[in-house]
Structure formats: C-alpha cells, structure tokens
Amino acid sequence: MTNRYDRVIVLTGASGGIGQALAREFACPGTYLALIARDEARLGPVMTEIRALGAEGEAAAIDIRDRKKLHAYLSDLDTRHPVDLVIANAGVTAGLGPNRTRESDADSDRQIDVNYRGVVNTVSGVVDAMQARGRGQVVLVSSLAGMRALPDMPSYSATKAAIIAYGHSLRGWLKPFGVSVTIICPGFVTTPMSARHKGAKPFEMPAERAAVLMRRAIERRRAFYAFPFLLAFGIRLQNLLPPILGDLFLGGFEAEIERDPRYREPSDR
C-alpha cells in the first residue's frame, strides 16, 4: 500500500509526560501519529493538540502488556498506513518498600511486564513489516538508570538496562535490512513520574526540552543518545571505576519513590 503521509509514527505512552511532549514535537502537516496508551480519556486532548498543529492520527487505548491486542492493532494500522517510525516510550517506575525494605512483587512484576515485555511487544508488532519493506526506524526509550543502576530502583534499573541490550541486538540484526535502531537514555525529566521521585534530580529539564533533544537524535538516526550530557558523561566515567568507588558516587542519588496512583496492590482491590 502506498502511504499518502510523509511519515507514519507509532508512539506508546502517549497520554502524558515525555510521550505527550513527543507527540506535540513530531506533530506537523504530513505526519500521521498513532498514539497508544491505556487511558483513553487522556489520549483525547493529545489528539486535539496534534491536529491543531497540522498532523493527523488516531488514538488507541491499549495496555502494551496485552500482546495479542497490541499486535492486532499494529497489524491493522500498518495495512492502512505503513509505519515508518515506532517510538517505544511507555514505562512505569517504582522503588523500594517502606523503610528501605525490598520492592514489592507486584511492583517488580509490573515494571518487567511494562518496561521490558511491553517494549518487545511493541517492536515485534511492527518490525516484520519494516524488514519486508526494507526501511523504518525503531526507537527505544531507556534511561540513564539503565546505564548505571540506582540502588533505590532495582527492577526499574534492570528493565531499562535490558532495553539497552535489546536495542543493541536489534540494531545489529536489522541494519542489513535498512531498518535503523535508536536507543535513548534520558535523565531526570519533569513529568508526573518524576514528581514521585523524592530525592536528588540533577539537571532535571522540562519534558518539552527533552522532546526536542530526543527528536533531534531520532532525526539523525543516532544509534545511542544519552542526556543531559554532563550527567551521562559522569555515569560513563564512574562505570570505569572499581565498583567500590562507583557505589560511593551513587550515594548522592538515594531517593524514595512514591507509590504510583494508577496501580493498586492485589491486597487493595
């Protein structure tokens, strides 16, 4: 099928935070945005915004953990509008339990299911078609915590590190087929998720500024992009240190992660 749009973009986690800012950043005439998030009510205003900016698109209220439903939607979308770019942005965060006890099983499972399996579900729903066409771009949104794990966020850090490894593997596999892969590792960005992070947040920046930087990296098809520069550079340097010294560096990042109001423990239901 010949696409009548200059570019068709799939964006997960589009209902708020970085996702919403990215939707606005990419919205322009000739662009078709397929916005995916769980909350249909929150997607509506984002669609109104991108249409006001000249883009067209559609919203899909899908939990990316539901692989069958997500794949069915992406297959139908690609038949109607061949996908050029997929941005796997959706993610959740959690921290340790009260008084620095271990994170709950539910929090750990949810982060693994959303942050890693959800990303795999998203990519696997579009990559076959991209490979067959010999073009396309896959963008994986990880985190600086994936480059150096935070002691207060074990599962979050692990899932974001897994995304980095997954992206490097994808890039090696897909490059000969004309499909590029970009891994992005943001630092602290002002979002509702970041507001739940009670601790030091050096170089925190507005979501709109982060979206501009991310768009530039995506447009340039960079293989790996971590920002802000000074914090990312510091992480790279401390990763060269012996672990005992690297752990001292992380002492200043102790934090408490407030409970995500969107989710409830099984005992709360």
How does pLDDT run across 10-40, given as a tens digit for each residue? 999 999 899 999 999 999 999 999 999 999 9
The whole-angstrom distance between residue 26's C-alpha and the CA centroid of its chain comes to 15
State mean pLDDT over 121-147.
98
The structural domains of the chain, ordered by start, are: 7-268 (3.40.50.720)
Structure tokens at 118: 């959800």
Q: What is the pLDDT of residue 253?
A: 67
Q: Which residues contact 63 (CB under 8 A, 6 or more apart)?
A: 38, 69, 70
Query: What does each C-alpha distance from 31 to 10, 15, 99, 202 come to in angstroms?
Result: 11, 18, 48, 34
How does pLDDT run across 238-251, given as a tens digit for each residue? 888 888 777 776 66
pTM reported for the whole predicted model: 0.92
Backbone dihedral angles phi then psi of residue 37, each to the nearest 5 degrees: -165, 170
Q: What is the pLDDT of residue 198?
A: 75
Q: Which are the catalytic amino acids?
A: 156
Rounded distance between C-alpha atoms, residue 202 and residue 188, angstroms? 7
